[in-house]
Amino acid sequence: MKAPRPTDHFDVIVVGAGPAGSAAAIVTARAGLNVLLIERGEYPGAKNVSGAAFYGSAILNKLIPGWWQQAPVERYICRRDVILISPSTAVSLDFRSASPEYAAPPYNAFTVLRPKFDRWFAAQAEAAGAFLLTSTVVDGVIQERGKVVGVKVRRDDGEIRGDIVIACDGANSFLAQQAGLQRRLAADELSLGVKEVLGLDEATIRERFNLSGNEGMVLEYVGAVTDKVRGGAFLYTNRNSLSLGVIGQVSSLVETGKRPYDLLELFKAHPAVAPLLRGARLREYSAHLIPESGWKMMPKLVASGMLVAGDAAGFCLATGLYIEGMNYAMQSGMAAGEAAVEAHRVRDFTRHTLERYTELLWPYNVFTDFRAYRHAPHFVNGERLQNLYPEMAAASFERLFRVDGNAKQKILPLYLKAMRQSGAKPRHLIADLLQAARSYLW
């Protein structure tokens, strides 16, 4: 490990050794800058919790070619299910692909266990020359004459000065708020994810999800799985464990008075889910805040001497079809790193020069994706899509496939009957179709 220069002044201070922080540290360290990477937990990944599905394999491949050969990955994802759930039935769309984009290097996505993955990714930053400082909590930024010049840590004589601070300290970022870049997030802009990791031996996973070798599967559930709470649930297959969790919008949780833990138990007991978990033994339980309303909620990302990236910047796209955070974290981290390197080249760290970061976010397709799907979060969290349509779909399929001697009905009359039963108005349906189209089709 290259011992960093003994001065207590750093060119770049990155706060938070998650995907965003480590990516920024790698880019800046590779450019020869004197980089400090601070992590609150005993090791990178101790405090980081996310659904552990990583869709940015190709992105990371640019930063670290062939990364999956060295990194601790669980399974490559080549099968995805989206499942509409009602209390007793489930209607699912099953996608499986053996095409090279999915089933051959650089693969499309992986399931990972964050504690192991983050630790490996931060080690790459150290290898690139960044100085990793763990078990240290950053209490705030140091500001002089309206310019961020360092950070204050929760240890004696805990002041470190640096030209640029890149805040990657997760959703509800304390540093961004303290620097005035981000207001406190409202309850409907945040979701609470409650996750469990259940141990299950490899052979049973392969047999139960019919996967062979290192193939992996992602199942995402929408509808009554969260019992009137707006949100969804997921189940990912790891090598010898399952990650499963429930995500509920905080405002909706507060309204319904439901506890996330109860929702998780409800989800695990659902007839479509329980058989998948039989014999699995609880290993870990954790909770995590997810910034969800995307484009609308984007904070100011730049101040003089400071950038915000990753979840701290709200870069978490949850559109029902996609639940992706880690890839955008990495992209924003790399963009912030590049902006910091360029600022150092011109030795100017004012907000004006650092705005380069936001410009870079377009070619890095962070802003492009978020703007394209700016309507999706609102649409996905709509009351009707969350609870009404899944029931309708389940009821109509139930009706469709039941053989009870009565005359068979065509799909449209059947669907209209299901709609009347569930009290949905046709004009709502049309409005929703339009909204869906705007969100996804064009």
Partner 1 sequence: MAAPVVVVAETIYGALTPATVECVEEARDLADSIAATVHVILPGHRTAPLADELAAHGADRVTLVEHEALEQFSADGWLAAVAPVIRELRAVFTLAPDSGYGRTWLPRLSARWRIPLATAGIRVKVTNEGYPEVFRASHDGKLHERQIWARGTAVMVMLSPGVRGVGPELPGRRASVEVVEPEIDAAAFRDRTLRTVPPDPHDVDLTEAERIVSGGLGVGGPEGMALLQQLADELEAALGGTRVVADRGWLAADRFIGTTGKIVAPKLYLALGVSGAGQHVAGITASETVIAVNTDRTAPLLKLADLGVVGDLHAIAPVLIRKLRVLRQAAAPSPAVRPTQLDPVIRAPVAASGRHPHDVSAREALP
Partner 2 sequence: MSSPSRLLFSPLRVGNITLQNRIVFSAHLTNFAEDFMPTDRHAYYYRERARGGVGLIITEEHSVHPTDHPYEKLIHAFNPAVLPGYRRITEMVHAEGTPILAQINHNGGQSSGMFTRLPAWAPSAIADPLFREVPKAVEHEDIHQIIDGYATVAGYTKRGGFDGVELQCSHSSIVRQFLSRSTNTRTDAYGGSLENRARLLREIIGAIRVAVGRDYVLSVRLCGDELIRDGITIDEAVDLARLLERDRLIDCINTSIGTATQTLYMIEASMRIPPNYAMFIPSAIRKAVHLPVIGVGRVKDPIQAERLLAEGHADLVGIVRAQIADPEFARKARENRADDIRLCLSCNQECVGRMGLNRWLGCIETPATGREQSLGAGTLPPAKPEKRVTVIGGGPAGLKAAAIAARRGHRVTLLEKEDRLGGQVAWAVRVTTRAEFGDIIRNLVHEVEQLPVGIQTGVAATPEMVLAGQPDAVIVATGSLPDRRAIPGADGPRVADATDILAGRVTPGRRVLLIDRLGFHEATSTAEFMAEQGCAVEVVTQTLYVGQDLGVTLDLENWYRQARRLGIRCTPNHSVLGIEDGVVTALHNYSGQIVRFPEVDTVVLAIHRRANCRLYTALKGQVAELHRIGDCVAPRRAHAAIIEGEKAGRAV
Partner 3 sequence: MRLAVCLSLVPDPATIDVDPLTGEIDADRTLHIMDPADAAALELALRLRGDSDTVTVLTVGPVAAEAVLREALAAGADSALRLWDETRTATKPAVTSLLLAASLRNEGLPDLVLCGWRSLARGSGKIPALLGEYLDWPVVTDVTRMEIQAARVRFHRRLARGDRSEGEVTMPAVLAIAADGIRLRYASLPQLMQACRAAIPLRDLPDLGLSPLDLSFPASTVHAVTPPRPRPRTIFIPDSSLSPHERIGQILSAGAAPKSNRVLEGPPEEMADAIIAFLQARGFLDQPA
Applying CB under 8 A, the residues found at the interface with partner 3 are: 3-4, 6, 8, 42-43, 72, 113, 115-116, 131-133, 136, 153, 155-160, 199, 283-284
Binding of residue 203 to partner 2 (CB under 8 A): no
Instruction: Kindly identify the residues of this chain, within the stretch 364-403, that bind partner 1 according to CB under 8 A.
Output: none
Q: Is position 155 an interface residue for partner 1 (rule: CB under 8 A)?
A: yes
Among partner 1, partner 3, partner 2, none, what binds residue 282 when CB lies within 5 to 8 Å by partner kind? partner 2
CB of 135 to partner 1, least distance (A): 5
Nearer to partner 1, 154 or 283 (CB): 154
Q: Under 8 Å CB-to-CB from 348, ≥6 apart: which residues?
A: none
- Rounded Cα–Cα distance for residues 381 and 22 (Å): 32
Sketch the per residue contact string, 373 through 392, with partner 2: x for CB under 8 A, - otherwise: --------------------
x/- mask, partner 1, residues 90-129, rule CB under 8 A, reads: ----------------------------------------
438 contacts partner 1 (rule: CB under 8 A): no
Tokens standing for residue 85 = 């759930």
Find the shortest distance in angstroms from Cβ 82 to partner 1. 29
Binding residues for partner 2 restricted to 285-304, rule: CB under 8 A: 285
Rounded Cα gap, residues 229 and 257, in angstroms: 9
Identify what 358 binds: partner 1, partner 3, partner 2, none; CB under 5 to 8 Å per kind.
none
- At its nearest, how many Å lie between partner 2 and the CB of residue 194? 13
| Number of residues forming the site for partner 2 (CB under 8 A) | 5
- Between 281 and 402, name the residue whose CB sits nearer to partner 2: 281
Instruction: Map the footprint of partner 2 across residues 254-283, applying CB under 8 A.
Output: 278-279, 281-282
Which listed range, 101-109, 116-124, 186-194, 354-362, lies at the site for partner 1 (CB under 8 A)? 186-194
Site residues (vs partner 2, CB under 8 A): 278-279, 281-282, 285
Residue ranges binding partner 1 (CB under 8 A): 40, 42, 135-137, 154-156, 170-172, 184-187, 190, 192, 250, 286-287, 289
